[in-house]
Amino acid sequence: MAAINGTLCVLKFGTTLLTGQLDGTLGGSADMLDATTKDSTGKAKEYISGETEFHGTVTALYEHSATANLAKIVADISAGTQWTIKFGQTTTGGRYYTGTANIKSWNWAAPKNALSQISLEVQGSAVMTQATA
């Protein structure tokens, strides 16, 4: 089995790596269009696939001097700036998924006696494709 070390999977915004990443997720879904008619057999509904979408999350240590810092994130969400994201193994030869996304939400956590963290949620606004680094 060729399992992938999760440490190698990162989220990039264009060519900028969000500093101090701790975890991340990438997911997608498709609308299910009800195609059930009087001609359908049995009691089961029938569906066909409709429009698709993707979304992702990332949590990172808060680093105010990083290029993709909280000030940029807040400015970009306010301006509606779309980011080209890459998620996966972005090292040479690695495979990753890429697409255009908007920042849907951000959070800054500052717990007592622990490192401060930021988290982002992105919402895709185009078709996601697979590429090789």
Report if residue 38 sits inside a domain: no
In a domain, 44, yes or no: no
Q: CA–CA separation, 96 vs 85, rounded Å?
A: 10
Are the C-beta atoms of 131 and 96 separated by less than 8 Å? yes
**pLDDT per position as a tens digit, 86-112:** 998 888 888 899 999 999 999 999 999
pLDDT, tens only, 3-40: 778 888 888 888 888 888 999 999 999 999 999 998 88
Sign of CA dihedral 70, 75, 76, 77: positive
What is the C-alpha to C-alpha distance for residues 133 and 95, in angstroms, rounded to an integer? 6
* 46 assigned to some structural domain: no
- Sign of the alpha-carbon torsion through 123, 5, 91, 59: positive
In a domain, 92, yes or no: yes
Amino acid at 110: A
Q: Report whether 17 contacts 68 (CB < 8 A).
A: yes
Enclosing domain of residue 102: 6-26+59-132
What would the two tokens of residue 1 be? Answer: 């089995």
- Structural domain total, the chain: 1
Judge whether 78 lies within some domain.
yes
pTM above 0.85, yes or no: no
Is 110 a member of any domain?
yes
Mean pLDDT of 74-79: 91
- CB of 76 closer than 8 Å to CB of 103: yes
Q: Tell me, yes or no, whether 51 lies in a domain.
A: no
Note whether residue 54 is domain-resident: no
